[in-house]
Amino acid sequence: MGPPPAPPSAPAPAGTTAVPGLIPDLVARIPCESRDLQEVRGAGPAGGRQLLPPDAAQACLFAPPPGPRWALVATAVVVGVLIISCLLCVICCCHRGRHRKKPRDKEAVGLGSARGTTTTHLVQPDVEDLEADSGGAQQWGRLLLSLAYDFRSQEIRVGLKQAADLRAGDRGGTADPYARVSLCPPAGHTHETKVHRGTRCPVFDETCSFHLPPAELPRTSLQVQVLHSRRVSPPEPLGALSLPLGTVDLQHVLELWHPLGPPSAPEPEQTGDLCVSLRYVPGSGRLTVVVLEARGLSPGLAEPFVKVQLVLNQRKWKKRKTSPRKGTAAPYFNEAFTFLVPFSQIQSVDLVLAVWARGPQFRAEPVGKVLLGARASGQPLQHWADMLAHARRPIAQWHRLRPAREVDRALALQPRLRLPLPGS
């Protein structure tokens, strides 16, 4: 029996011609550097070419193209340099932005990091800090004044208009300011304005006058103190102004803003203070005056006591006095006095409290006086107004004792009528 017949090959599609050895030629053209593949390619019978196995042909098709290794290394180095350059640019931009936000004139200097011999007291502070520490005009506020001099009556008229940008007198950031005007050397009385509650820009709108001869103008200065009113403790100074009248042209009316400076050192008070409580009942017309205590009196005074006097229409009306206290410069009285004052006359009444004591000559002399009523000024006027505004409620407050002659001059009491003695 002969060999079995070969299986019939699949017919070629229409329009194509099967060329023997075409696929092996295509595969042979694919670059493959493997020795095994070259050996298989040349191992055909009779010098012919043999088809590669399917796995070897696929490996050659998908093999990476050949290339030198130094190219890959160079590419990696270039990419790394670019990344580092970008990072350095970003860091430089951020550093410049921080320097722009902090100006040179406001940079903080760390003295601890300096390793030289420079000490802290050699570093000069900023100019703004020096102005703030030296108590400039903006720190103490301003005061609007008007000055006019009448050569006929030889009086200087001082108009207190308003103040602005005053310091705060309490923790709430507000103040209860009032102004005190006087001349130095003293000439006449001291004028105090009304107390303005809860403001740092008060509008005073008050005028006072002082008798001053023209020859005294060059060596006289106007003294203005702005104070914060406190009911129990003494007033707190908010600023002061000293204006020499010799440098001011008083031929015309001047109205100017003046900067306030730091208050001067308080002079020792020789007259002292007096604490008084007032209560008024409009229905019954009862005015109750309670003399509580005094303080700051001269230690050389003996047996101080207080006289309480009512003045009606510039004439002495009623009076009372406390019992004396011995051996103390801060006597405690706590004595009450009641006066019947109709409501129709309450605005015409002046209340005068005078502290008396025995001096070195063993004679009772007035130490100082306090004037309360509608004709008073400053804290005494505010105390009287609070008494009328809060009827039936006692209101206590400290008052500074003023010289007796100054209060008598402000009262302008009319002398009593003296009957002629028989035979005169």
The b-or-e profile of 163-189 (16+ CB within 10 A means b, else e) is beebbebeeeeebbbbbbbbbeeeebb
pLDDT tops 80 at residue 215: yes
Which residue matches tokens 């042979």? 28
| Cβ atoms 260, 162 nearer than 8 A | no
pLDDT in tens, 128-167: 343 444 444 347 899 999 999 988 888 899 999 999 999 8
Per the confidence metrics, is the pTM higher than 0.75? no
User: Reduced to 3 DSSP states, what percent helix, strand and coil does the chain have, rounded to the nearest 5?
Assistant: 25, 30, 40
pLDDT of residue 97: 58
Determine the straight-line distance between the first and last CA of the chain, rounded to whole angstroms: 199
DSSP state of 245: G
pLDDT of residue 199: 93
- Tell me the β-bridge partners of 354: 307, 369
More confident site: 223 or 105 = 223
pLDDT of residue 65: 53
pLDDT of residue 39: 45
Helix (H, G, I), strand (E, B), or coil: what is residue 85?
helix
pLDDT of residue 360: 56
pLDDT in tens, 160-173: 999 999 988 877 78
Average pLDDT taken over every residue of the chain = 75
**Band of the pLDDT at 19, cuts 50, 70, 90?**
very low
Which residue matches tokens 């505004």? 389
